[in-house]
Amino acid sequence: MSSAPALVLQFLELILALLAAPLLTGWVNQCRAWLGNRSAPPLTQFYRQLAKLFEKEVVLADNASSLFRAAPYVIFACMALASMIVPTLSTDLPFAPAADAIALVGIFALARVFAALAGMDIGTSFGTMGARREMLIGFLAEPALLMVFFTASLISHSTSLSTIVETLGQREFAIYPSLAFAGVAFTMVSLAENARIPVDNPTTHLELTMIHEAMILEYSGRHLALIEWAASLKLYAYSCLGLALFFPWGIPETTGPLSMLVALSSLVLKLAIGGFLLALIETLSAKLRIFRAPEFLGTAFMLAVLAMLVHQLLETAT
């Protein structure tokens, strides 16, 4: 069984995720504002927004079912669990055996299904439209994400995220073309999954273009706060996942306080760079038409399959 320090670390990781996720969202928004030559909101803007929403009362539609009220909690729980499984500070996580890479995709899917159901629950046309679009994006993004995980699993001979990250982090230096392909595919999938610009625009409320925002239009008060927080947790989980898979340096196996400090500082540095790059991508690209999204995600899927094939051909040669 796992030791007490590991458990402490696990909860530290959860608390870090809960606190750092809004900060990451704030950082991305700030970078976007800078790149767009606007004056940036403060880094803590997202905390204030959450605090404001938690104070407000919840307004429910008359025909809202209990599912509508339960969905925010389910979504938030899924995202919190996901960010606990992804190795950020250490690979020795007691909760990691609870779900491997495939189950992680399932957790994200569960959250998406609940979001879509809640979007359709009230019966407004916007919610239904958003839910349908979200499911379209989801069903195209999921296989690509799985293929990315399979490539990493083939390299490290395991589907457990901790083992994958350990193997990739501890390997001797070698060029893996397959990981480069998988990295590009993962970036494309995470852009789509997190409702970022080439596929969806997180700041839009224009009826024709919104996907994620359309689903959560009916939410208010603490429900909306939880959903917004869950969205930022999702972005954080995806960023950490990408960093852990493709830039695994600096994640220690041991649980000493010194190595934790190193891990924390390298994580903050990597997240800051990653967030800036995300803002850069969003600033440089235009939003795709919704009918172009399948092409975008098809490319991601193709790249991920290519990664697997290239690994089979080039990297398993004796």
Partner 1 sequence: MNGHLPLYAQVINLLAAMLLLLSFAMLAQRRILSLINLFMAQGMVLFASTVVVAAATGQHHLYWSALLTLVLKVMLLPWILHRLIRRLNVKWDVETLINIPTTMMIGLVLVIFSFNLALPISALAGTITRSTLGVALAAVMLAFLMMITRSKAVPQVIGFLAMENGLFFAATSATYGMPMVVELGIALDVLVGMVILGVFFFQIREQFDSLDIRHLEQLKED
Q: Which residues bind partner 1 (CB under 8 A)?
A: 155, 171-172, 174-178, 180-181, 294-295, 298-299, 302-303, 305-306, 309-310, 312-317
- Rounded least distance, CB 293 to partner 1, Å: 11
- Rounded least distance, CB 287 to partner 1, Å: 18
Q: Which is nearer to partner 1, 60 or 154 (CB)?
A: 154
Q: Which is nearer to partner 1, 15 or 313 (CB)?
A: 313
- Rounded least distance, CB 310 to partner 1, Å: 5
- Rounded least distance, CB 171 to partner 1, Å: 6
Q: What is the DSSP string of the chain?
A: ---HHHHHHHHHHHHHHHHHHHHHHHHHHHHHHHHTTSPPPPTTHHHHHHHHHHHSPP---TT--HHHHHHHHHHHHHHHHHHHHS-SS-S--TTGGG--HHHHHHHHHHHHHHHHHHHHHS--HHHHHHHHHHHHHHHHHHHHHHHHHHHHHHHHT---HHHHHHHHHHSPP---HHHHHHHHHHHHHHHHHTT-TTT--TT---TTT-SHHHHTTT--HHHHHHHHHHHHHHHHHHHHHHHHHH--TT--SS--HHHHHHHHHHHHHHHHHHHHHHHHHHHHSPPPPGGGHHHHHHHHHHHHHHHHHHIIIIIS--
Q: Which is nearer to partner 1, 280 or 313 (CB)?
A: 313
- Rounded least distance, CB 314 to partner 1, Å: 4
Q: Which is nearer to partner 1, 125 or 291 (CB)?
A: 291
Residue 8 CA to residue 13 CA, distance in Å, equals 9
- Rounded least distance, CB 311 to partner 1, Å: 9
Q: Which is nearer to partner 1, 251 or 297 (CB)?
A: 297
- With CA atoms as reference, report the closest residue to 117 among 74, 82, 59: 74
Q: Which is nearer to partner 1, 8 or 309 (CB)?
A: 309
Q: Which is nearer to partner 1, 68 or 296 (CB)?
A: 296
- Rounded least distance, CB 194 to partner 1, Å: 22
